[in-house]
Structure 1
Amino acid sequence: MTTKVYIGIRWKFLAVFLGCTGLTLLFVLLGRLLASYIIVRPPYNVPLIWVINHIGSRPTIGVFGVVFFLSLYVASTRPLVRYAKELAGVLEDMAGGRLQASVSVKAADELGTIAENMNSLSGQIHTYLEEISYGLAEIAKGHFDYEIPVRENHELGRIADSINQMSAQLNRSIQEERNAEKTKNDLITGVSHDLRTPLTSILGFLEIIDKDRYADEVELRYYMNIAYEKSLSLKKLIDDLFEYTRINNGMPLHLRKLDVTGLIRQLAEEFVPSLEQANMILQIHAPEQPVIIQADGDHLVRAYENLISNAIKYGSSGKYIDVYIEKEEAFVRIRVCNYGEPIPKRDLPYIFERFYRVEQSRSKATGGTGLGLAITKSIIDVHGGDISVESSTNQTVFETRLPDPAVPA
C-alpha cells in the first residue's frame, strides 16, 4: 500500500514560486549569454543592436523575465486550479440534489482532505437517505411499527425522528379507528342480543293472547303482566342505551357547585323503600362541614344511583352499605361499600364495560341492562374523575374520585 506524504498547499505554492523564480533567473542568464554570442555576429546582431539602442538591455531582460515567470507559474499551478474547479463542480452537483456525487482524491494536501470529506459526507447522506427511503416504503406498505434509525446531531436525523413520530401517530389513529369500529360492532351486537330476548318473550305471550290459547281471564292477565314487565325491561334498556351514547358523544355538562354529602344523603332517603325491602341499612360517613365539588348534579345523581342500586342488589346478604366521603389532596373520594358476595377476580377488569354482566347477576331477580356501571364510569370520566373497584370476601368497594375545585389544577 502506497503512503502519500502530506504536503500543504502553501508549501506547494512556495515551491512553485521558488522553482519558477530559479528557472526565470536561469532563463535570464542563458538569454544574456546568447545575446553576447549573437551581438558579435552580423547580420544576426542587427535586431538585437536595434533593441538595445532603442529600448535598452535591462528593460528587455525584465520584460522577457516577467513573461517567462508568469507563463511558468500559470503552467505549474494549473493542476491545482483544475482540481479546485473539479471540487467546486462536485459541490454544485451536491447542491443540485445529486448527493451521490464523488471526486477522486489526487493529492495529500488540503484539497485532498476536502475531497475525502466530501466523499465521506456524500456517502453518509446517500446511505442515510436510502435508510429513510426504505423506512418510508415500509410505512407506505402499512408497517407502521417500523422505526427509521435516528442519528444524533444530524439534520436528517431530525427528519427521520419526525417521520417516526408521524408514523406512530398515524398508527395510533388507525388503531383508534379500528377500536372505534370494533366498539361500534360490539355495541350493535350487544344491543341486538339484549333487545331480542325481551322482545321474543313479548311476541310469544302476545301470540298466545292473540290465538286465545289461555284457559281463563286469570291466565290472560298473567300473560299480559309478563309482557308488560318485559316491555318495561325493554324500555329501561333503550333509555340506558340512549343515555350512555349521549354521555359518550360529548353531551354538555351544566356544572355548578354542590355538596356531595347532601347529594348522597338525599339519595339515601330515596332508597329507603328499597333498603327496607332488602332488610339493609345505608350508613354515611362524612365530615361535618360540606364537601363542595363542581359537577352536573343530575348526572352525578344517576352515577351514584347506579352504585347504591348495585350495592342493594348484590350486597343484600351483608345487611349494610357504607358510604365514605372524604377529601384527599386534590380530589374528593367517595367509596360505596357493601358486604355481600364478592365479585370474581376474573370479572373485575371488565366490570365497567357496557353489556358486561357478572355471571351471578344473570338471574332474573338481579339481572340488569349491563349498562349501569358503564354509564357511571362515563359520567365520572366526563367530570375529570376516575372510578375503580376492589372486591374480596370481606367487602366490595366502588371508589370514585372527583376533582376538588378548592385545589388549583
Structure 2
Amino acid sequence: MKVMKLHSIRLKMLFMLLSSIGITAALLVILYALSTLILSIPAIKPPLVWIINHIGSDPVMLVAGIILFFASYYMSTKWFVLDLQKIQTGLQDITAGRFDSRIELKSQDELGGVASSINRMTEQLNVYLEEIRNGLREIAKGNFDTDIPVQSGSQLGEVAESINQMSRQLHQSILEERNAEKTKNDLITGVSHDLRTPLTSILGFLEVIEEDRYQDEVELRYYVNIAYEKAQNLKKLIDDLFEYTRINNGLPLDIREIDMAQFIRQLIEEFVPALEKSGMECKLAAEEGLVIRADGAQLVRAYENLITNAIRYGDSGNRIDIAVRSDGNQVSISFTNYGDPIPERDLPFIFDRFYRVETSRSKQTGGTGLGLAITKSIVEIQGGEIRVRSDQQRTTFETRFPKVV
C-alpha cells in the first residue's frame, strides 16, 4: 500500500509539472495574441520595442516562458509543498521522541493518507509505550508478577519481553536472597540450639565436680564419663557443621573415573566390624564395569553416612542390600534397610539441616541432623542426585550419577 501511495504521489507531481508547462504555453499564446494591444500602450511600447529590436522576439518569449513556468509551477505546488513541510515537521517531532504529536492535514489526497498513517502509527506507539510505562511503574512498586503485553513481530514487543524476563529474574533473585537470609538465620538458630544443649550438660556436670558435690569416686567417674560423652557429641556436631559449610562453600574436587562395583565392595569391607557388632549382614548386587566421574574421598563420606544410618536405624531388619545397576545413561547406587519406616510426613524434609525424624532417638544414637544434608550436598556438587523411598517393608536411599561410556 505504501508503494501504491508513493507511486500516486509521483504521478501527481508529474501531473503538476505537465500542468505548469501547459499553463505556460497557454499564457504565451495569449501574450502573443495580445502583443499588438500591448504595444499600443504608450508607457510600455518604447522599452518593449527596444528590447525586441536589440534582443529579438524569440529570446523575449523564452525568458517570459521560463518566468511564467516557474510562477505557475510554484502556484500549483504551493499547497503540496506546505503539506510536505507539515509531514517533515511531524516526522522530526517523532524522531525526537514526541510520539503524542500529530500531523494535521485537511487534504484527503495521498499526502493526507500518509499523514493519517503516521498519526495512527504514533498513536499505537504512544498507547504501547504507556502500557510499558505502567508495567515498569508496577514493577518499581514490587509487583513482579506484572506482565507487560508483548506484541509479536515488533522491536518494542522484544523490549517488553526483555522487561518481563528481567522482572522474573529480579523476583527470583529477591526470593533467593530472602531464602538465603532465612537459611542463614535457621542455620544460626539450629547451631545455637544444638551447641547449647551438650555444652549446658557439660558445664552442669563440671560444676558438680568443681564444687565437690559427689559422694564418692564412682559417682565422680560417672559424671566425668557423661561430660566426656557430651563433649564427644559436641565435637561431632562441630565437625559435621564444618564439613557441611566447607562442602557448600565450594570445596575443590578431585574428579576421577570410578568403577562403582569395586568402590562399593571396598567400602563394605570397612563396615564389616560395625555390621558384625550390630548382628547384620550386607548383600551387594552389582553390575560390573559401571563407571562414573566423581571425587572418591567425598563419595566415601556420603556413602558412609548412608550405610551408618542403615545400620543405626535398620538393625531390626538384620540386613542391608546395596545395588549397583545401570539405568539408561545413569548409574544407580541404592542402599536398602528393613528397619522401621520413615514416616511419610518426614520424607520431604529428610535431607534438611538439623532435621531429625525422631529427636530423642537421634540424640541417643548421637545423630547431629547434618549427616544426610552433607550426603545430599556431596552428591549434588558432583552432578548426581539423591532420593529416598520408605514403606512398611523397606527404606531405600538411591543416588544416581551420569554413566561414563
- Aligned partner of 2:344 in structure 1 is 345
**Conserved 8 A contact 1:35-1:48:** no
**Conserved 8 A contact 2:150-2:161:** yes
1:255 partner letter:
I
- Aligned partner of 1:276 in structure 2 is 276
Q: Which segments of 5 or more consecutive residues in structure 2 lack a partner in the other structure?
A: 1-6
1:20-99 matches, cutoff 5 A: 20-21=20-21, 23-37=23-37, 39=39, 46=46, 49-57=49-57, 59-99=59-99
TM-score by length of 2: 0.89
Deviates more, 1:203-212 or 1:126-135: 126-135
Deviation at 1:327, TM superposition (A): 2.2
* Cα separation, partners in 2 of 1:78 and 1:232, compared to 1, 3 Å: same
1:87 partner letter:
I
Cα distance in 1 for partners of 2:379, 2:42 equals 123
- Aligned partner of 2:381 in structure 1 is 382
State the number of aligned residues.
399
Identity %: 56
Deviates more, 1:339-348 or 1:90-99: 90-99
**Conserved 8 A contact 2:314-2:340:** yes
Deviates more, 1:386-395 or 1:59-68: 59-68
Cα distance in 2 for partners of 1:238, 1:40 equals 127
- Aligned partner of 2:114 in structure 1 is 114
Deviation at 1:73, TM superposition (A): 1.9
1:384 partner letter:
G
Considering only aligned residues, what root-mean-square deviation do their CA atoms show, in Å? Answer: 2.5
- Aligned partner of 1:168 in structure 2 is 168
Deviates more, 1:233-242 or 1:121-130: 121-130
* Cα separation, partners in 2 of 1:30 and 1:254, compared to 1, 3 Å: closer
Q: Secondary structure at 1:88's aligned position in 2?
A: helix
The Cα offsets for residues 245-268 of structure 1, whole Å up to 9 and x where unpaired, read as 111110011223333333323332
- Aligned partner of 1:297 in structure 2 is 296
Q: Secondary structure at 2:292's aligned position in 1?
A: strand
2:386 partner letter:
I
* Cα separation, partners in 2 of 1:220 and 1:106, compared to 1, 3 Å: same
1:323 partner letter:
I
Q: Secondary structure at 1:365's aligned position in 2?
A: helix
* Cα separation, partners in 2 of 1:253 and 1:27, compared to 1, 3 Å: closer
**Conserved 8 A contact 1:8-1:109:** no
- Aligned partner of 2:234 in structure 1 is 234
1:140 partner letter:
A
Deviation at 1:285, TM superposition (A): 1.2
Cα distance in 2 for partners of 1:40, 1:402 equals 115
**Conserved 8 A contact 1:336-1:397:** yes
Q: Secondary structure at 2:67's aligned position in 1?
A: helix
Q: 4+ runs of 1 displaced by more than 6 Å?
A: 40-44
* Cα separation, partners in 2 of 1:120 and 1:38, compared to 1, 3 Å: closer
1:241 partner letter:
L
2:27 partner letter:
F
**Conserved 8 A contact 2:354-2:370:** yes
Q: Which segments of 5 or more consecutive residues in structure 1 lack a partner in the other structure?
A: 1-6
Deviation at 1:213, TM superposition (A): 1.7
- Aligned partner of 2:213 in structure 1 is 213
2:208 partner letter:
I
